[in-house]
Amino acid sequence: MRRGLELLTRVGTLTAVSSFYETEPVEFTPQPWFINCAAGLETSLPPRGLLEEMLHIEQTLGRVRTQPKGPRTLDLDILLFGDLVIDEPGLKIPHPAMPTRRFVLEPLAEIAHDVCHPLLRKTIRDLLPGLPPGQLVRRLENNPRE
């Protein structure tokens, strides 16, 4: 995770990084728990260019896509890109599953609680109470960049 964050600084400036969280797998559950965080990034790249760079970072750090939702070394997602809404093959912003995933909203709320979801018109903080039960999330550390 730290190396992934470091490599993101090659495509922009990190403006915020949440704590790291240990999170229960969803959908494909017979696997180890994940480590998640959220980061704010200022970049001059367009969304598609950022996605391509993020996929390159994943590959650089050993990601091999063998099973959907399965174990992986690193998974970088664009959750939001300002107030843009994009629905193209291979690129959907805001991330379509974001409002239903505690492992996304908990870290994101830590760094962007008042940011508004451009389709739902709710803040990240307001989306948290609507999550389905379950999806355990445990904060591991507060300053992952140190």
pLDDT digits (tens, 9 = 90+) for 65-78: 666 665 667 889 99
pLDDT band, residue 29 (cuts 50/70/90): low
Cis ω before 144 (30° cut-off from 0): no
> Structural domain boundaries of the chain?
2-139
Identify the CATH class of 2-139.
Answer: alpha beta
Q: Name, in order, each residue with C-beta under 8 angstroms of 31's C-beta and a sequence gap of 6 or more.
A: 25, 70, 71
Residue 29 exposed, middle or buried by CB count within 10 Å (0-12, 13-18, 19+): exposed
Report residue 128 CA to chain centroid gap.
15
104-120 pLDDT tens trace: 999 999 999 999 999 99
- For the residues 83-88, what does the mean pLDDT come to? 97
pLDDT band, residue 24 (cuts 50/70/90): confident
122-142 pLDDT tens trace: 999 999 999 988 888 899 966
**DSSP-assigned letter for residue 54:** H
Q: Which residues participate in catalysis according to the annotation?
A: 63, 72, 75, 77
Q: Contact, 47 vs 136, CB < 8 A?
A: no
- Res 61: pLDDT: 87
CA distance 98 to 72: 19
Query: Which pTM does this prediction carry?
Result: 0.88
CA distance 94 to 120: 10
pLDDT band, residue 144 (cuts 50/70/90): low
